[in-house]
A and B are shown apart, each in its own frame.
Chain A
Amino acid sequence: EVLLVESGGGLVQPGGSLRLSCAASGFTLSDHYMDWVRQAPGKGLEWVGRTKDKAESYTTEYAASVKGRFTISRDGSENSLYLQMNSLKTEDTAVYYCVRVDCSGGNCYNKPFDVWGPGTMVAVSS
Protein backbone atom coordinates (compact mmCIF):
# COMPACT_ATOMS: atom_id res chain seq x y z
CA GLU A 1 0.00 0.00 0.00
CA VAL A 2 1.27 3.46 -0.91
CA LEU A 3 1.38 5.68 2.16
CA LEU A 4 2.68 9.09 3.18
CA VAL A 5 2.81 10.12 6.82
CA GLU A 6 3.92 13.57 7.97
CA SER A 7 5.37 14.41 11.35
CA GLY A 8 7.14 17.26 13.11
CA GLY A 9 4.38 19.82 13.35
CA GLY A 10 3.78 21.89 16.44
CA LEU A 11 3.74 25.35 17.97
CA VAL A 12 6.64 27.68 17.21
CA GLN A 13 7.25 31.38 17.81
CA PRO A 14 7.51 33.88 14.96
CA GLY A 15 11.06 33.87 13.60
CA GLY A 16 11.60 30.30 14.70
CA SER A 17 12.34 27.14 12.74
CA LEU A 18 10.73 23.76 12.33
CA ARG A 19 11.49 20.69 10.23
CA LEU A 20 8.68 18.53 8.93
CA SER A 21 9.24 14.95 7.87
CA CYS A 22 7.28 12.75 5.52
CA ALA A 23 7.76 8.99 5.65
CA ALA A 24 6.95 7.26 2.37
CA SER A 25 6.15 3.58 1.98
CA GLY A 26 4.93 1.30 -0.77
CA PHE A 27 6.86 3.03 -3.55
CA THR A 28 10.34 4.31 -4.41
CA LEU A 29 10.61 7.94 -3.44
CA SER A 30 13.44 8.67 -5.90
CA ASP A 31 11.17 7.83 -8.85
CA HIS A 32 8.67 10.59 -8.04
CA TYR A 33 8.38 14.33 -7.86
CA MET A 34 7.30 15.14 -4.30
CA ASP A 35 5.57 18.32 -3.16
CA TRP A 36 4.37 20.09 -0.06
CA VAL A 37 0.95 21.75 0.02
CA ARG A 38 -0.47 23.73 2.93
CA GLN A 39 -3.89 24.81 4.09
CA ALA A 40 -4.42 27.64 6.57
CA PRO A 41 -7.30 27.13 9.01
CA GLY A 42 -10.60 27.50 7.17
CA LYS A 43 -8.84 28.41 3.91
CA GLY A 44 -8.03 26.80 0.58
CA LEU A 45 -5.02 24.86 -0.65
CA GLU A 46 -1.68 26.53 -1.33
CA TRP A 47 1.24 24.87 -3.10
CA VAL A 48 4.48 25.30 -1.15
CA GLY A 49 7.16 23.64 -3.25
CA ARG A 50 8.54 20.63 -5.07
CA THR A 51 11.54 18.38 -5.34
CA LYS A 52 11.83 16.62 -8.68
CA ASP A 53 12.89 13.00 -9.14
CA LYS A 54 16.35 11.44 -9.30
CA ALA A 55 16.39 11.71 -13.11
CA GLU A 56 16.13 15.48 -12.74
CA SER A 57 18.68 15.64 -9.94
CA TYR A 58 16.10 16.39 -7.26
CA THR A 59 15.95 20.03 -8.33
CA THR A 60 13.49 22.18 -6.41
CA GLU A 61 10.82 24.80 -7.04
CA TYR A 62 9.16 27.03 -4.44
CA ALA A 63 6.22 29.35 -4.06
CA ALA A 64 7.22 33.00 -3.83
CA SER A 65 5.74 33.20 -0.31
CA VAL A 66 8.28 30.70 1.07
CA LYS A 67 11.28 31.02 -1.26
CA GLY A 68 14.46 31.70 0.68
CA ARG A 69 12.89 30.57 3.96
CA PHE A 70 11.81 26.97 3.25
CA THR A 71 13.95 24.13 1.90
CA ILE A 72 12.76 20.76 0.61
CA SER A 73 15.12 17.81 0.80
CA ARG A 74 15.12 14.02 0.70
CA ASP A 75 16.81 11.10 2.40
CA GLY A 76 16.76 8.28 -0.08
CA SER A 77 18.11 5.71 2.35
CA GLU A 78 15.15 6.31 4.65
CA ASN A 79 12.63 6.97 1.88
CA SER A 80 11.79 10.27 3.56
CA LEU A 81 11.02 13.83 2.49
CA TYR A 82 11.68 16.92 4.57
CA LEU A 83 10.54 20.52 4.75
CA GLN A 84 12.90 22.80 6.65
CA MET A 85 11.05 25.98 7.60
CA ASN A 86 13.03 28.98 8.84
CA SER A 87 12.06 32.55 9.72
CA LEU A 88 8.52 31.43 10.33
CA LYS A 89 5.70 33.96 10.19
CA THR A 90 2.21 33.85 11.65
CA GLU A 91 0.86 33.48 8.12
CA ASP A 92 2.69 30.15 7.80
CA THR A 93 0.19 28.66 10.25
CA ALA A 94 -1.43 25.78 8.38
CA VAL A 95 -1.82 22.06 7.97
CA TYR A 96 1.07 20.89 5.82
CA TYR A 97 0.52 17.99 3.44
CA CYS A 98 3.18 15.85 1.82
CA VAL A 99 2.00 14.83 -1.66
CA ARG A 100 3.22 12.52 -4.38
CA VAL A 101 3.09 13.44 -8.04
CA ASP A 102 1.65 10.83 -10.37
CA CYS A 103 4.61 9.58 -12.40
CA SER A 104 2.84 6.78 -14.22
CA GLY A 105 4.39 6.05 -17.58
CA GLY A 106 7.74 7.23 -16.27
CA ASN A 107 6.82 10.87 -16.71
CA CYS A 108 6.16 13.25 -13.83
CA TYR A 109 5.87 16.40 -15.87
CA ASN A 110 2.53 18.24 -15.77
CA LYS A 111 1.01 15.51 -13.63
CA PRO A 112 -1.40 15.79 -10.67
CA PHE A 113 -1.01 14.79 -7.03
CA ASP A 114 -2.16 11.19 -6.70
CA VAL A 115 -1.30 10.47 -3.05
CA TRP A 116 -1.66 12.76 -0.03
CA GLY A 117 -0.54 12.31 3.54
CA PRO A 118 -2.97 13.08 6.39
CA GLY A 119 -1.15 16.33 7.17
CA THR A 120 0.61 17.84 10.15
CA MET A 121 -0.38 21.10 11.86
CA VAL A 122 2.06 23.97 12.22
CA ALA A 123 1.06 26.91 14.40
CA VAL A 124 3.21 30.04 14.45
CA SER A 125 2.30 32.23 17.39
CA SER A 126 3.85 34.11 20.27
Chain B
Amino acid sequence: IQLTQSPSSLSASVGDRVTITCRASQDIRSYLAWYQQKLGKAPKFLIYAASTLQSGVPSRFSGSGSGTDFTLTISSLQPEDSATYYCQQILSYPLTFGGGTKVEIK
Protein backbone atom coordinates (compact mmCIF):
# COMPACT_ATOMS: atom_id res chain seq x y z
CA ILE B 1 0.00 0.00 0.00
CA GLN B 2 1.53 3.30 -1.10
CA LEU B 3 1.01 6.50 0.89
CA THR B 4 1.39 9.87 -0.81
CA GLN B 5 1.80 12.91 1.38
CA SER B 6 1.33 16.50 0.26
CA PRO B 7 2.82 18.95 0.32
CA SER B 8 6.36 17.64 0.69
CA SER B 9 7.24 20.84 2.50
CA LEU B 10 5.59 24.02 3.68
CA SER B 11 6.47 27.23 5.43
CA ALA B 12 3.97 28.93 7.71
CA SER B 13 3.83 31.56 10.42
CA VAL B 14 3.26 31.06 14.12
CA GLY B 15 -0.48 30.90 14.71
CA ASP B 16 -1.32 29.67 11.22
CA ARG B 17 -3.54 26.67 10.59
CA VAL B 18 -1.60 23.96 8.78
CA THR B 19 -3.03 20.95 6.97
CA ILE B 20 -1.09 17.95 5.67
CA THR B 21 -2.75 15.30 3.54
CA CYS B 22 -1.99 11.61 3.16
CA ARG B 23 -3.55 9.54 0.39
CA ALA B 24 -3.47 5.74 0.38
CA SER B 25 -3.36 3.67 -2.81
CA GLN B 26 -6.18 1.50 -1.47
CA ASP B 27 -8.78 1.50 1.29
CA ILE B 28 -7.06 1.28 4.70
CA ARG B 29 -10.20 2.05 6.72
CA SER B 30 -8.91 4.01 9.74
CA TYR B 31 -5.63 2.14 10.14
CA LEU B 32 -3.47 5.22 9.85
CA ALA B 33 -1.01 6.78 12.29
CA TRP B 34 0.89 10.06 12.28
CA TYR B 35 4.39 10.71 13.62
CA GLN B 36 6.45 13.83 14.19
CA GLN B 37 10.22 13.79 13.70
CA LYS B 38 12.37 16.70 14.79
CA LEU B 39 15.80 17.16 13.30
CA GLY B 40 18.26 14.55 14.52
CA LYS B 41 15.71 12.81 16.72
CA ALA B 42 13.62 9.66 16.60
CA PRO B 43 10.02 9.99 15.45
CA LYS B 44 7.32 10.59 18.04
CA PHE B 45 3.86 9.02 17.89
CA LEU B 46 1.09 11.62 17.54
CA ILE B 47 -2.17 10.15 16.30
CA TYR B 48 -3.67 6.67 15.90
CA ALA B 49 -6.78 5.34 14.14
CA ALA B 50 -6.67 8.44 11.98
CA SER B 51 -8.01 10.73 14.71
CA THR B 52 -7.14 9.51 18.23
CA LEU B 53 -4.57 11.74 19.89
CA GLN B 54 -1.81 10.00 21.81
CA SER B 55 -1.67 10.98 25.48
CA GLY B 56 0.37 14.14 26.02
CA VAL B 57 0.07 15.42 22.45
CA PRO B 58 -1.16 19.04 22.38
CA SER B 59 -4.78 19.47 21.40
CA ARG B 60 -3.83 21.80 18.51
CA PHE B 61 -3.01 18.59 16.63
CA SER B 62 -5.90 16.69 15.08
CA GLY B 63 -6.42 14.01 12.48
CA SER B 64 -9.30 13.01 10.28
CA GLY B 65 -10.22 10.78 7.40
CA SER B 66 -10.93 7.18 6.51
CA GLY B 67 -10.62 4.95 3.50
CA THR B 68 -7.98 6.54 1.29
CA ASP B 69 -7.86 10.22 2.28
CA PHE B 70 -6.50 11.53 5.57
CA THR B 71 -5.43 14.86 7.01
CA LEU B 72 -3.28 16.05 9.89
CA THR B 73 -4.12 19.56 11.05
CA ILE B 74 -2.22 21.87 13.37
CA SER B 75 -4.79 24.47 14.39
CA SER B 76 -2.33 27.12 15.56
CA LEU B 77 1.26 26.49 14.54
CA GLN B 78 3.85 26.89 17.30
CA PRO B 79 7.66 27.23 16.97
CA GLU B 80 8.16 23.79 18.51
CA ASP B 81 6.07 22.22 15.72
CA SER B 82 8.91 22.66 13.25
CA ALA B 83 9.50 19.06 12.16
CA THR B 84 8.85 16.47 9.48
CA TYR B 85 5.53 14.64 9.73
CA TYR B 86 4.94 11.11 8.47
CA CYS B 87 1.78 9.10 7.99
CA GLN B 88 1.88 5.29 8.29
CA GLN B 89 -0.58 2.60 7.33
CA ILE B 90 -0.90 -0.24 9.82
CA LEU B 91 -3.46 -2.34 7.97
CA SER B 92 -1.26 -4.81 6.17
CA TYR B 93 2.31 -5.92 5.53
CA PRO B 94 4.59 -4.45 4.50
CA LEU B 95 3.83 -1.55 6.80
CA THR B 96 4.50 1.64 4.86
CA PHE B 97 5.11 5.31 5.52
CA GLY B 98 4.37 8.38 3.49
CA GLY B 99 7.29 10.35 2.12
CA GLY B 100 7.04 13.00 4.82
CA THR B 101 6.06 16.67 5.03
CA LYS B 102 8.62 19.12 6.31
CA VAL B 103 7.03 22.00 8.25
CA GLU B 104 9.09 25.14 8.68
CA ILE B 105 8.32 28.29 10.63
CA LYS B 106 8.55 31.57 8.73
Contacts and interface: CB of A to CB of B under 8 A. Distances in A.
Contacts of B54: 114
Contacts of A119: 42
A111 B90 contact: yes
Contacts, number: 54
Contacts of B97: 44-47
A64 interface: yes
Contact of B94 (A45, A63, A97, A114): A63
A110 B91 contact: yes
A116 B44 contact: yes
A9 interface: no
A107 B62 CA distance: 24
Interface residues of A, number: 21
B90 A116 contact: no
A63 B41 CA distance: 23
A35 B43 CA distance: 14
Contacts of A102: 45, 48
A113 B39 CA distance: 19
Contacts of A46: 97
A112 interface: yes
A44 B42 contact: no
Contacts of B100: 44-45
8 contacts: A44-B86, A45-B43, A47-B94, A63-B94, A102-B45, A113-B45, A116-B45, A119-B42
Interface of A: 35, 44-47, 50, 61, 63-64, 97, 102, 110-119
